[in-house]
Amino acid sequence: MTTVREALNESLQACLRESPEVYFLGEDILDPYGGAFKLAAGLSTQFPDRVITTPVSEAGIVGVGIGMALRGLRPVVEIMFGDFVTLAADQLINHAAKIRWMSGDAARIPLVVRTPMGGGRGYGPTHSQTLEKHFLGAPGLRVVAVSDLDDPGALLHHAVFDDNDPVLLVEHKLLYPSTILALDNAEAYDIERQGNGYPGYFIKLRGSPETRLTMVAYGYMATLARDAMRSLAIEKEIFSELIVPTQLSPFKLDFLCQRASQTRHVLVIEEGTQTMGWGAEVSAGLHEAVSSNLRVGRVAALDMPIPAAARIEAQVLPSVERIKDMALELAV
Amino acid sequence: MKKSSQNDADLYRKMLRIRLFEERLLEMFPSGQIYGTTHTYIGQEANAVGVLATSQAGDVVVSNHRCHGHFLAYGGSMQALAAELLGRETGICGGRGGSQHIKWENFFANGILGGTVPIAVGMAFAEAAKKGNALVYTFIGDGTLGEGVVYEAINMASLWRLPLFFVVENNRYAQSTPVELNLAGDICARFEAFGISTLAHEADDVLEIMRLAQDISNSIRAGEGPHALILHTYRFAPHSKGDDTRDPDEIARYRARDPLKAAAARVQQAVKGEIEKSVAAEVDEAYACAENDPFPAAETLTPPLDELA
């Protein structure tokens, strides 16, 4: 049983093994520590020259990654907590995302910046956030999110070797210890993969009758949505389906629109704050594309910082119960 | 007068190309032919010409918003630069980058101050990893010393002993603000605190700048890690176009020490005349050709990301 952490760690090892152009940079990533979330365990022992521990300089190390990529390397930069990615916002938005295009496509930046986002660990307002919403829609930057489905390591491998543009790879920290749900052994679910490099997934309960609600969620929220889907079926006999994208930006709405025009009810679930977020964009796009008789609901974090104390942290972040409540409100 | 050498003539020609190109640019702004903005290098030409005279094939140059002089000294095409400034499809970046964002061969400029410095560090890291002999020249100004990321970058440059040549052009003003109002302490000490060997110089002689830069680039290529050269300089023209609030007497005092005059004085009169004539013709032709070039077609607006399977 492979966990998401093991899959990503093995993928990093494979990337470093496959090409001398791959470098891995980040804070506290050397053995025996192996990174704050242990994604780097064993890497510096095997590849001492290409696993580089850095100063506490998030903007600086993303810039270093951009420079390496411009000179023919394929760097992976770890930002220890996703919350710190704001420190590198200038590097991502004004440099990584623009250099190719503003040079008239005369330069390429095969850079991967990977970072753990998300709450549920009691780390408080500045170590629990889901901040990718601020980077979605930045032209020239791809944003990809790992889930516990299929092969998270393949996503990383694809970003490193097949994508010549900068990628912000978002990993929810609660997913790291999760066991991967393989497509051919997916408990009560039928899971269909769509696309190859950054695939989407279409999930239904095995043997489910016609569905009347389409949920869409990425990252750890897809795990909660899956639980909600099962519970709604068992407890309320409401049958739903779930779409799990991995590429968040640019976002492709086609399949979601196709499903929405069948079920006519869509629930968009995200862990970021609700206002002006991913769900707002998905919802707007759906309403533009599916013209009539469509109901869209959203579940997201409350529009406030994430508190440290467990009891109130749980109030702020989305939960299976909130997803179920909103599903009932929409689809009843 | 000393006998003029080929080197003196070359240096003068290179400086004059920047001076005349930029003077024409400022003349053209009021006519509305140029859209957007510019930051001219008039008065600072000896810095780029002197420093980049030490560059070799394969070296990288990282520049900033005031990049035209660096670009021309690097060997960039005057005509392609004129076309970029006039927003033509034949411009260096097809009109996407404009005055501040130029990428050609190993030359990279970005108008975001400071953010270029860690990128230069990453480039030097990659060059060092290739075990070649390439240098990364990084030009910043005194104003950029206010950006925190610069210190993250020079820390890593020194920590990893990378082949970086930092050139700080202290033109004594960050846009309109004199250096005394925005910079505490000492410029050299900033680099020295990170263990970077640093030299400061009153930059009014291109030959002297070249000599210092040659010593520094030799040391870096010999594996002695990053070095910094602080050039105390002055721009004669406004920060951008019409935004000059400096004391005209101060500008006149620095103009009296114009590095271009010092460079011209070393060139024989006849040679000098020939250089002036040919550079003026080159500038005329660069702008004339650019003016006849087409504007970018809407079809050139391709997406900024590859569509992947």
Q: Residue A141's domain is classified under what CATH number?
A: 3.40.50.970
Q: What is the ipTM of this complex?
A: 0.97
Q: What is the pLDDT of residues B58-71, one digit of tens each?
A: 999 999 999 999 99
Interface contact A63-B121, CB threshold 8 A: yes
Interface contact B94-A104, CB threshold 8 A: yes
Residues 6+ apart with CB under 8 A from A78: A24, A25, A26, A27, A29, A35, A39, A40, A113, A114, A115
Do A158 and A206 share a domain, yes or no?
no
Position B3 scores a pLDDT of 52
Token pair of A91 as six digits:
């590097």
Q: Which chain B residue has the Cα nearest residue A252?
A: B307
Question: What is the CA B301 to chain-centroid distance, rounded?
Answer: 29
Interface contact A94-B112, CB threshold 8 A: yes
Do A248 and A314 share a domain, yes or no?
yes
H or E stretch including B58? none
Using a CB-CB cut-off of 8 Å, the residues of chain B touching A59 are 115, 118, 148-149, 152
Nearest to B97 among A103, A162, A198 (CB): A103
Do A52 and A78 share a domain, yes or no?
yes
Position A218 scores a pLDDT of 98
Domain residue spans of chain B? 6-293
Q: Are strands A240-244 and A213-217 parallel, antiparallel or unpaired?
A: parallel
For chain B, how big is the Rg over CA atoms in Å?
Answer: 19
How would residue B308 be classed by pLDDT, with cut points 50, 70 and 90? confident
Q: What is the pLDDT of residues A158-209, one digit of tens each?
A: 999 999 999 999 999 999 999 999 999 888 999 999 999 999 999 999 999 9
Number of A–B residue contacts, CB under 8 Å: 141
Q: What percent of chain A has pLDDT over 90?
A: 98
Position B4 scores a pLDDT of 57
Interface contact B304-A101, CB threshold 8 A: yes
CA–CA min distance B199, chain A (Å): 24
Q: What are phi and psi of B95, to 5 degrees?
A: 85, 0
Please give the tally of structural domains in chain A.
Answer: 2
Sign, CA torsion A185/A187/A192/A196: negative
Residues 6+ apart with CB under 8 A from B247: none
Q: What is the pLDDT of residues B146-199, one digit of tens each?
A: 999 999 999 999 999 999 999 999 999 999 999 999 999 999 999 999 999 999
Q: Which chain B residue has the Cα nearest residue A56?
A: B152
Using a CB-CB cut-off of 8 Å, the residues of chain B touching A250 are 305
Q: Is residue B189 helix, strand or coil? A: helix
CATH number of B6-293: 3.40.50.970
Nearest to A71 among B123, B152, B155 (CB): B123
Answer with the one of A175, A209, A227 that is the final residue of a domain.
A175
Residue in the block written with tokens 């309109």: B176
Interface contact A60-B156, CB threshold 8 A: yes
Q: Which chain A residue has the Cα nearest residue B136?
A: A67
Interface contact A90-B112, CB threshold 8 A: yes
Mean pLDDT of A45-74: 98
Do A137 and A159 share a domain, yes or no?
yes
Using a CB-CB cut-off of 8 Å, the residues of chain B touching A195 are 309
Interface contact B101-A103, CB threshold 8 A: yes
Domain holding A104, by residue range, is 4-175
Do A35 and A13 share a domain, yes or no?
yes
* CA distances (Å), origin A159, targets A176, A178, A248, B90: 19, 22, 14, 33
Closest-CA residue to B307 (of A165, A228, A223): A165
Position B232 scores a pLDDT of 98
Strands, E assignment, chain B: 60-63, 103-104, 107-109, 136-141, 164-170, 173-174, 177-178, 197-202, 227-232
H or E stretch including A217? strand A213-217
Closest-CA residue to B194 (of B147, B128, B150, B231): B150
Q: Are strands A51-53 and B136-141 parallel, antiparallel or unpaired?
A: unpaired
Does residue B61 sit at the A interface (CB-CB below 8 Å)? no
Q: Are A145 and A218 in contact (CB under 8 A)?
A: yes
CA–CA min distance A187, chain B (Å): 28
Mutate to test the interface with B, among A25, A50, A103, A111 (most CBs of B within 10 A): A103
Do A121 and A149 share a domain, yes or no?
yes
Whole-prediction pTM: 0.97
How far apart are the two ends of chain A, measured CA to CA in Å? 38
HEC per residue, A32-96: CCCCCCCCCCCHHHHCCCCEEECCCCHHHHHHHHHHHHHCCCEEEEECCCHHHHHHHHHHHHHHH
Do A128 and A258 share a domain, yes or no?
no
Q: Which chain B residue has the Cα nearest residue A140?
A: B304
